[in-house]
Amino acid sequence: MLNTPIKPMLLQPSPTVITKDGWKHALKYDGMRVLLHYDNGTCRAFTRHGNEITSSFYPELKKIDLPIKNGIFDSEAIILDPTTSPPKPIWDDVMVRFHTKKERAIASLSQSLPTHFVCWDTLWINDQSLIHEDFNIRRQALEKYVSPTDVMSVAPLYEDGAALFARAKELGLEGICSYNTNSGPKSHYYLDSRPSDVWVKTKAYQYVTCQISSIRKSKFGWGLSINGKYVGVLEFPPTAAITKDFYMQARHLKRRENKDWYFIDPLISCTIKFQCFTRDGKLRSPKIESLSFDCVG
């Protein structure tokens, strides 16, 4: 398993916070899921899909020095915005680091956009797999061997998930993750799987009213605007009922077209659920909740 691409366990989505006994909670960090493979002083990084990205973060990875022979750590690569209080993870900046390939540019960005790896679990320590151990045992190993530095730390756990989720919403963060710490199979680690009642994520979505201003001709896509300002594309098709209602009205609103898009009068409003605004003002992962035709004649 060490130094081999592996796919981590995924979290089940939940609209509400888990309040069962034996569950602990952590903030959900808005970054990139990364598995760190540490082997005799060398650290490699792999995405959740098994792609190696060590070269994108090598200035930070080479600073990692742990008191073990080897280990595998489940983490999130984040970049904090120092202008916010408290500093807030910025997904866009992690994507900049991920997509930068030239060594000189990576070295420069490691100074202006330094990456930090927040760990919450460990799968392997000193030639031994821990995936069949209980969550608490894995956490004890993680906290024993990973001390906080400017590059790497351990995500704090909290007992009160509801209070943590409320705080995440207050700060405009992504939400929380919840972990089953009860002894037994529900507390183990399942590679390349999304088991029920093991790990759960509850997202603190934001909501906004947008206007639909364009329709993509090829694959599904509706252009969104807010008071005339373009804010991105709806990539996830809504329900069949919403789609049918929209096209019945939109066919009367067409203004012009090019080879890729139909442009319509922005007279159909919609309530959009989304994760956050990107640094350039776009909606991240927008989804339609409802339509409004109040302005359509």
| The pLDDT value given to residue 223 | 98
pLDDT of amino acid 297: 46
**Residue 116 is which amino acid?**
H
Long-range contacts made by residues 213-217, C-beta under 8 angstroms, separation at least 24?
213/263, 213/264, 213/266, 214/261, 214/262, 214/263, 214/264, 215/250, 215/261, 215/262, 215/264, 216/260, 216/261, 217/257, 217/259, 217/260, 217/261, 217/262
- Give the gyration radius of the chain's Cα atoms: 22
Domains delineated in the chain: 12-203 (3.30.470.30), 206-292 (2.40.50.140)
Sequence-distant (6+) residues with CB within 8 A of 244 are: none
Task: Give the pLDDT confidence score for residue 272 in this predicted structure.
Answer: 97
pLDDT at 295: 55
Residue-level pLDDT, tens digit, the chain, 297 residues? 999 999 999 999 999 999 999 999 999 999 999 999 999 999 999 999 999 999 999 999 999 999 999 999 999 999 999 988 889 999 999 999 999 999 999 999 999 999 999 999 999 999 999 999 999 999 999 999 999 999 999 999 999 999 999 999 999 899 999 999 999 999 999 999 999 999 999 999 999 999 999 999 999 999 999 999 999 999 999 999 999 999 999 999 999 999 999 999 999 999 999 999 988 999 999 999 999 986 554
How much is the pLDDT for 294?
Answer: 62
CA end-to-end span of the chain = 62
Largest CA distance in the chain: 71
